[in-house]
Amino acid sequence: MIKTITFGLAIFLMSFMGCNQTSKQNDSLNSADAIYYGGDILTMEGDTANYAEAVGIKQGKIIFVGSKSDAKKFQSDSTKMRDLKGKTMMPGFIDPHLHPILGSVILNTSFASPFDWNFPWGKVKAIRGHKSFINKVVQYDKALKDHLEQLIVWGYMEPFHGRISRTELDSISATRPIVIWQYSAHEMFFNTAALKKFKITEAETKGNSQIDYKLGRFVEAGFFTVALPKLAPYLMGEKVMKEAMKKFSAVVHLGGVTTVGDMALGASGNMETDLKMMGTILNDPATPFRIQYTLDLNALGVINGDGEESLAIVKELEKRKSPHMLIGHSIKLFSDGAFFGQAFQVEPPGYNDGHHGEWIMQPERLHKTMRFWWDAGYTIHIHCNGSGGLTAILDELEILQKENPRKDHRLTIEHFGESSADQVKRIVYLGAVVSANPYYLFSMGDKFSGDKILGKKRGSELVRLGSLLKNKVPFALHTDFTMAPIEPLLLAWVASNRITADGNLLAPEERVPVYNALQGITLNAAFVLRMENVTGSIKVGKNADFVILQENPMKVNSIKLKDIKVLETVYEGRNYPIER
């Protein structure tokens, strides 16, 4: 009898121990690597502000969103408890349209911009007025010891700095190559020494209406096809670019961005070169963001971007994906010219001073290329700054929707500078979406609403986000860096306040509520990149991408939105504090 009891007790104990071990194993399998709590957790799920008390993450993914009490089910001895201590956590910011290669190159130039810039290494103050601009160029010239070393100054804008010419640049130096890079990055001025150094001859520019050799001016296609290829070897050397890409990475992190949309793969003129350059940061485990590429058809290196050769190149590149380098099933086209350079196409009555905009892709070519990629089933993103360029896009989109209807095509109008209320209605009808740059209004609203350019009404209605919201058009906000600083909260501030750099309120009816502005840098930004199932909100199953802020943007006065400090980012579950 005693033997039987002893044997039975042994079986019971073994069974209990086995169950307890299994329970611990299950706890380990279900437990979170970290749980965030103790602050405002703004999920960006839904049409209004929704909060969670706690968020659990495991292996870089979100496994729990809900109450603090329920979060305990995911807590184990190994779980790190992250107390926000009253701070605000929301999805990591997304900049769906910028240019890492071009932006890195510009970071290595000398700045003389009409606006202030904040960088991890310090602030760069605005330069305004012709004399001040020229004096700044002279200052940069004198700071260089070698009189033959090239000087590239970025940030020139005629409305703020007056007209410049090759002759005036020659007066600064007859020996030093001086290049003035217009703010839009679509235009350059060269002095004579620079034309000689970069071997740009008058003969190769004849007949090109977008080049004024005597003035030393290269604009749009004249810049991209003639000037930029000559400068590229000097701007994009391996050693220089490694340092430049590190700067770019630091700027992205400072802004709280965890996902970047590169809208110009091929910016260097060579896809392989671009991918190699980006590898310097994407292969670094310390890089706290991913990049999704959209292929720039102007950079494919083929005669036409609307043929089987282009399609084959794009399909091959799509195979090059990696965990932190994504290549979307999408392509980028261009309609009209640059915004800051006043080269965008404006519907009648046009510019008040009588000048005309430029086309990057003539409408006939644009339409043909749109058709090819539409029929191939790709998401099409189109650079568009003016109402004339927008009409060219919408006219072809209307034809395509009739001939080969696509429901969720997400054709994206990129930039969305000057437009009309009627065009917004056409966007709705045709099912397009918008990725807008609200910094256009902040930086140029005062200048463009003057009598000489667009006039008060059209100039004040730039980037009409209120109209998009009323018509339920999904819109994202982007920087197009360096067209705007990589500061998503600054974009949201402009969208919700519509205050210019000079402190003026323009077209208040086009303001949007703060929550909708925040959607533009989170979930809506993910949507235009077709990444809404991966990131953009705090939801179970998505990547653990967060930004931690000093204050809750939903609980401060909207006028203070741009001043909220970004304290830390979390990228796929890993914490990256911001050092100042």
The string of pLDDT tens digits covering residues 428-437 is: 999 999 999 9
Does residue 145 sit in helix, strand or coil? coil
Residue 27 pLDDT? 55
Tell me how far apart the alpha carbons of residues 564 and 551 are, in angstroms, rounded to a whole number. Answer: 6
Residue 306 pLDDT? 74
Are 413 and 474 in contact, with CB atoms under 8 Å apart?
Answer: no
Which amino acid is present at 271?
Answer: M
Query: What is the residue-averaged pLDDT of the chain?
Result: 91
Across residues 97-120, what is the average pLDDT?
Answer: 94
Tell me how far apart the alpha carbons of residues 289 and 249 are, in angstroms, rounded to a whole number. Answer: 9
Residue 305 pLDDT? 67
The CB-based long-range contact list for 67-75 (8 Å cut-off, 24+ gap) reads 68/37, 71/32, 71/35, 71/37, 73/30, 74/30, 74/31, 74/32, 74/35, 75/31, 75/32, 75/35
**Pairing mode, strands 80-83 and 211-212:** unpaired
Give Cα separations from 400 to 140, 377, 384, 396, 427 (angstroms): 52, 12, 18, 6, 14
Tell me how far apart the alpha carbons of residues 94 and 44 are, in angstroms, rounded to a whole number. Answer: 13
Residue 302 pLDDT? 57
Greatest CA separation for the chain: 113
Are 129 and 156 in contact, with CB atoms under 8 Å apart?
Answer: no
What pLDDT, in 10s, does the model give residues 113-150? 999 999 999 999 999 999 999 999 999 999 999 989 99
Are 322 and 281 in contact, with CB atoms under 8 Å apart?
Answer: no
Are 149 and 193 in contact, with CB atoms under 8 Å apart?
Answer: no
Tell me how far apart the alpha carbons of residues 129 and 134 are, in angstroms, rounded to a whole number. Answer: 9
% the chain with pLDDT above 90:
77
**Pairing mode, strands 412-415 and 433-436:** parallel
Residue 173 pLDDT? 96
Tell me how far apart the alpha carbons of residues 44 and 553 are, in angstroms, rounded to a whole number. Answer: 12
Q: Is the peptide bond before 482 cis (omega within 30 degrees of 0)?
A: yes
183: nearest Cα among 165, 208, 161: 161
532: nearest Cα among 100, 99, 96: 96
Tell me how far apart the alpha carbons of residues 20 and 70 are, in angstroms, rounded to a whole number. Answer: 22
CA dihedral 84, 90, 96, 100 (to 10 degrees): 0
Q: How confident is the model at residue 240 (pLDDT cuts 50, 70, 90)?
A: confident
6-15, 414-423, 527-536: segment of lowest average pLDDT: 6-15
Tell me how far apart the alpha carbons of residues 269 and 276 are, in angstroms, rounded to a whole number. Answer: 13
Residues contacting residue 123 through CB under 8 Å, at least 6 positions apart: 116, 117
Residue 464 pLDDT? 98
The CB-based long-range contact list for 147-150 (8 Å cut-off, 24+ gap) reads 147/173, 147/175, 147/176, 148/175, 148/176, 148/177, 149/176, 150/176, 150/177, 150/178, 150/179, 150/194, 150/197, 150/234
Residue 16 pLDDT? 41
Higher pLDDT, 306 or 355: 355
pTM of the model: 0.91
What pLDDT, in 10s, does the model give residues 159-206? 999 999 999 999 999 999 999 999 999 899 999 999 999 999 999 888
Tell me how far apart the alpha carbons of residues 336 and 526 are, in angstroms, rounded to a whole number. Answer: 25
Residue 282, H or E segment:
helix 271-282
105-109, 294-298, 304-308, 442-446: segment of lowest average pLDDT: 304-308
Residue 25 pLDDT? 39
Residue 11 pLDDT > 60, yes or no?
no
Place of tokens 């020494």: 193
Tell me how far apart the alpha carbons of residues 42 and 52 are, in angstroms, rounded to a whole number. Answer: 7
4-18, 144-158, 163-177: segment of lowest average pLDDT: 4-18
Residue 478 pLDDT > 60, yes or no?
yes
Tell me how far apart the alpha carbons of residues 184 and 286 are, in angstroms, rounded to a whole number. Answer: 31
Tell me how far apart the alpha carbons of residues 460 and 363 are, in angstroms, rounded to a whole number. Answer: 27
**Pairing mode, strands 546-549 and 566-571:** antiparallel
The CB-based long-range contact list for 362-370 (8 Å cut-off, 24+ gap) reads 363/335, 363/392, 366/333, 366/334, 366/335, 366/392, 366/393, 366/396, 367/392, 367/395, 367/396, 367/399, 368/306, 369/297, 369/304, 369/305, 369/306, 369/333, 370/333, 370/396, 370/397, 370/400
Q: How confident is the model at residue 20 (pLDDT cuts 50, 70, 90)?
A: very low
Residue 29 pLDDT? 64
Residue 3 pLDDT > 60, yes or no?
no
Give Cα separations from 115 to 111, 323, 363 (angstroms): 10, 36, 34
282-286, 293-297, 458-462, 496-500: segment of lowest average pLDDT: 282-286
Residue 201 pLDDT? 93
Residue count of the chain, please give it: 580
CB atoms within 10 A of CB 354: 7
Half-sphere exposure of 246 (CA within 13 A, CB side): 6
Are 479 and 94 in contact, with CB atoms under 8 Å apart?
Answer: no
Which amino acid is present at 128?
Answer: R
From the number of C-beta atoms within 10 Å of its C-beta (0-12, 13-18, 19+), residue 144 rates as middle
Are 290 and 545 in contact, with CB atoms under 8 Å apart?
Answer: no
Tell me how far apart the alpha carbons of residues 341 and 159 are, in angstroms, rounded to a whole number. Answer: 9
